[in-house]
């Protein structure tokens, strides 16, 4: 026997089974069961306080909802497609438990403000978890950076050797990227921390409800100021997906370099066995599969953002059924970024740095060419002319196999008699890095300052 729809009074016939299944959202919005019960508890407590519902009825509903919450936490609840969504499933279960009085719960609200409230609560609860996971990754980066301030590696532009840098400096660049992610997710909370409850379908309600009370009970900063906006706004979800997409860009870039750095050609780092896999046919392989997976999972997060942007772009106010498509991408994104952050943190904590291989890569690669040009500029040669002179020396060295540091002093003096023996000290990769002490630079003193500032920032969250 088909279940009678709670909205079925206006209809002479029920929908087909196919339409029921197509229109139902319970397969995914059951993810918000806890939030739906929380919202209903706040709503009925407000109905009791404002005397919209008799105290006895409200208390019966509160008791039933609290029992459902306990059952959900203990062993879960059984939901059906016939009841369409999480809201109607919870109400149906409440009706089974306490009888027709459950029907009074929906007084002064709509599924439109109900689902928006659930969605706000869902993201609001998870934003701090995302921020905490990013900060744990930042902590791992800072620790590794502090151990490698004076570890020298090639710095790249266009994936060509550019200038030698500190590996610690390289790691702190990612710390800064992830700090911007932290700040974006923290700002996201500002637009998530609003309560749609009480906006009803779109126009508010004639019942004398107290929206501030329900906002307070649910831990929201304030109610939405406009009921149309309250039920139609999904900016907070778009911001979450946008922030998550940028986060995944950063994780993917780091993964790309991890994959390079642990290859045979580079050999700068080695991943722990726990974060690597082997080959079913090639016994020697140690594959950076976890880095590749994180890099690959960026695509599904980007797709969720593009999906919701496309869904929302042409919707008239207020609620439209299209907005049922707002949740799955967010749920999937939460389940993607949190484990990605955890796995990345583990990789960073356990990787081994081949300091000798990194340092070796900065020799005989002409990445000290800028140092020589700067040195000649200090002798009074215009930098553009110094740049040209060094470029010619590099070209000659590429043809003859002679490194800049191997050029005899007599040859340097032909360029300018003011060149002295100290030029060879300047050309050493370690010295080249150490001397770059402009603010934010790769000089060891500057890197230590970056690390100190990062440690102080993390200490505020008791992470150091």
Cα dist. 443→14, 46, 164, 166, 449 in Å?
Answer: 73, 61, 10, 7, 10
Residue 426, Cβ density class (10 Å: 0-12 exposed, 13-18 middle, ≥19 buried): middle
Q: Which position among 16, 75, 78, 158 bears the catalytic label?
A: 158
All residues at 6 or more sequence positions from 187 whose CB lies less than 8 Å from its CB, including other chains: 239
Q: Are 375 and 285 in contact (CB under 8 A)?
A: no
| Tokens coding 102 | 């459950």
- Three-state DSSP at 334 gives helix
Contacts of 232 (CB under 8 A, 6+ apart): 202, 315, 317, 318, 319, 323
User: Could you confirm whether 40 is annotated as catalytic?
Assistant: no
235 and 263 Cβ atoms separated by less than 8 Å: no
The span from the CA of 18 to the CA of 24, in Å, is: 10
Half-sphere exposure of 100 (CA within 13 A, CB side): 0
* Two tokens, residue 334: 């939460």
Alpha carbon distance 247, 418 (integer Å):
51
390 membership: H or E segment, kind and range: helix 383-400
The neighbour count for residue 202, using CB atoms within 10 Å, is 17
Block residue for tokens 């797709």: 303
Q: Is 340 a catalytic residue?
A: no
Question: How far is residue 417's CA from residue 101's CA, in Å, rounded to a whole number?
Answer: 99
Query: Which of 279, 304, 363, 367 is flagged as catalytic?
Result: 279
Catalytic positions are: 158, 279
């Amino acid at each position: 026997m088909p279940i009678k729809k709670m909205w079925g009074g206006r209809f002479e016939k029920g929908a087909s089974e196919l339409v029921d299944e197509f229109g139902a959202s319970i397969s995914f919005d059951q993810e918000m069961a806890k939030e739906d019960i929380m919202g209903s508890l706040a709503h009925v407590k407000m109905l009791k306080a404002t005397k919209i519902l008799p105290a006895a009825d409200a208390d019966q509903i509160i008791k039933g909802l609290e029992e459902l919450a306990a059952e959900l936490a203990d062993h879960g609840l059984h939901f059906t497609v016939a009841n369409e969504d999480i809201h109607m499933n919870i109400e149906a279960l409440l009706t089974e438990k306490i009888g027709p009085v459950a029907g009074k719960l929906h007084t002064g609200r709509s599924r439109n403000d109900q689902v928006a409230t659930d969605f706000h609560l869902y993201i609001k609860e998870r934003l701090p978890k995302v921020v905490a996971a990013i900060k744990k990754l930042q902590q791992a980066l800072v620790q590794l950076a502090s151990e490698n301030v004076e570890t020298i590696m090639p710095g790249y532009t266009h994936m060509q050797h550019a200038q030698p840098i500190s590996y610690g400096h390289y790691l702190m660049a990612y710390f800064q990227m992830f700090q911007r992610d932290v700040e974006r997710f923290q700002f996201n909370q500002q637009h998530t921390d609003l309560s749609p409850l009480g906006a009803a379908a779109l126009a508010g309600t004639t019942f004398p409800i107290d929206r501030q009370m329900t906002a307070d009970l649910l831990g929201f900063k304030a109610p939405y100021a406009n009921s149309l906006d309250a039920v139609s706004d999904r900016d907070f979800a778009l911001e979450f997906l946008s922030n998550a997409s940028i986060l995944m860009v950063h994780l993917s870039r780091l993964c790309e370099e991890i994959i390079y750095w642990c290859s045979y050609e580079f050999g700068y780092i080695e991943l722990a066995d726990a974060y690597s896999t082997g080959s079913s046919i090639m016994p020697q392989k140690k594959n950076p599969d976890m880095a590749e997976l994180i890099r690959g999972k960026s695509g599904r997060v980007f797709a969720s953002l593009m999906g919701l942007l496309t869904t929302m772009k042409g919707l008239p106010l207020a609620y439209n059924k299209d907005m049922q498509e707002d949740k799955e991408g967010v749920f999937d994104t939460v389940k993607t970024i949190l484990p990605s952050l955890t796995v990345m943190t583990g990789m960073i904590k356990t990787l081994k740095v081949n300091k000798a291989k990194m340092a070796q890569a900065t020799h005989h690669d002409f990445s000290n060419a800028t140092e020589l040009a700067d040195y000649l500029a200090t002798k009074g040669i215009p930098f553009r002319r110094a740049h040209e002179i060094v470029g010619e020396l590099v070209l000659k060295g590429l043809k003859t196999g002679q490194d800049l540091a191997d050029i005899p002093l007599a040859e340097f003096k032909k360029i300018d008699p003011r060149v002295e023996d100290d030029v060879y000290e300047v050309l050493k990769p370690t010295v080249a890095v150490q001397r770059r002490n402009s603010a934010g630079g790769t000089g060891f003193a500057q890197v230590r300052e970056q690390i100190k500032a990062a440690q102080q920032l993390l200490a505020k969250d008791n992470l150091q």
